[in-house]
Amino acid sequence: MNLLTAQAPVRVPRSGKGLALGIWRLVMVALVVMLSLGFTQVAVAQAEPDREMRTAAPGITADQWRQVRSGETDANYRDSRYESDYNLINASGETWRQIRNRWVSPFGLIVIGGMISVIALFYLIVGRKHLEEPRTGRKLFRWPLFLRALHWSVASLFIVLALTGLNLLFGKFIFPTLFGAAVWSWMTSASYVAHNYLGPIFGILLVILLVSLIKDNIPKKHDLEWFKKGGGLVGKGHVDAGFANGGEKVWYWLLASVGLMVVASGFVLDFPNFGQSRDTMQWANIIHAVGALGLTAVAIGHIYIGTLGTEGSLEGMTTGYVDETWAKEHHNLWYEEVKDQAISEEEVAARKSGDSSSDVSASRPS
Ligand code: HEM
């Protein structure tokens, strides 16, 4: 058919049904236009908090907002989402936000950054503590397999919890610009999940570790002398130490006090379904963060002493055995108790390969 000569279709008069359909279509188009305008309004209002407030509750006056903020409860001002005695606005939430952002976060940066700087300076100026006498090659059994496994499990979990916790507190200042919003959002979600699930496991293992080590960490008179001499840094000669020295006992009791506080407040935050109030959750959050940041700083010190800082310490926690010379120089009172149990490296190897059960169950003399 030639398009130029083709006749225009004859207009068929609209039936009532066709008219209704037309009106219906018009209404639909108007509805879509209105809805998209509405969404745009909400989006704009959300970008501006004042405007959002006016949009959400246009009839409310400044006095009414003041009354809501003041904490007065009244049927009209209650949070209606579920049974709750809370005021519409949780005014103490702002106090919590201020404490967290103005005090807790900077405190974390100062203690952790300060600890890293002090250790770096100490390492550069004083250096590693080497053994003064040559190794004898004879070994003393110090850490049974059960305690080593427990130590490394607690330590690994602590490190993961510290890294994910630090990411939740400080990550937003670094990673969104480094990796972009998509990666950052994945990092935050992963951190939350890891932190929330691993926290309780860490808590349980920490309690088992603390119970297993309590006997060796009861404070003794000679620990005072250890502190006075700065663990051997001040004055000459070795300072007396039993199985655990003064510094290790401080680490132990910090874990037994602050560590358990961090675990307890973590449980309060992890299980909000036990009826705890928002104020309780806010305080739990502050206690949890301050305790965890402080412990992380001390843990960095502990990790330094256990690895770079002291020759011969790490092998105790990896193999279970330490050299006699190390025992004599770092834990002289313990050495006196166990020196007749020293064995050669060959005997250690034989024990480990042939009769590994002795390494697992051998009781640790103290
Ligand atoms: C990679 C990190 C770590 C390393 C390299 C490390 C290393 C060591 C070493 C070598 C010892 C034995 C010291 C000795 O024989 O006297 C030790 C003991 C210990 N560590 Fe760690 N550690 C690490 C992380 C942690 C963490 C994160 C915790 C706790 C949250 C922890 C808790 C303990 C405790 C309670 C002891 C026993 C001290 C005592 O006798 O009371 N360690 N660590």
Q: What is the pLDDT of residue 231?
A: 85
- Chunked mean pLDDT (size 10), the chain, 366 residues: 39 53 64 55 52 68 73 55 58 88 96 98 94 96 98 98 97 96 96 98 98 97 91 80 97 98 98 88 97 98 96 96 97 96 95 65 48
Q: Which residues line ligand 1 (CB under 6 A)?
A: 142, 151, 154-155, 158, 209, 213, 216-217, 244, 248, 251-252, 255, 299, 302-303, 306-307, 313-314, 316-317
This prediction's pTM: 0.78
Q: What is the pLDDT of residue 45?
A: 45
The residue whose C-alpha atom lies closest to atom 39 belonging to ligand 1 is 248
Q: In the 8-state DSSP scheme, what is residue 3?
A: T
Q: What is the pLDDT of residue 4?
A: 36
**88 vs 86: CA distance, rounded Å:** 6
> In testing the pocket of ligand 1, which one of 143, 146, 151 has its CB within 8 Å of the most ligand atoms?
151
- CB contact at 8 A, 269 and 285: yes
Chain centroid offset of residue 344 CA: 42
Q: What is the pLDDT of residue 44?
A: 47
Q: What is the pLDDT of residue 238?
A: 82
The overall longest dimension of the chain from CA atoms, in Å, is: 118
Which DSSP string do the residues of 145-204 spell out, in sequence order? HHHHHHHHHHHHHHHHHHHHHHHHHHHHHHHHHHH-HHHHHHHHHHHHHHHHHHHHHHHH
Ligand 1 centroid from CA 339, angstroms:
23
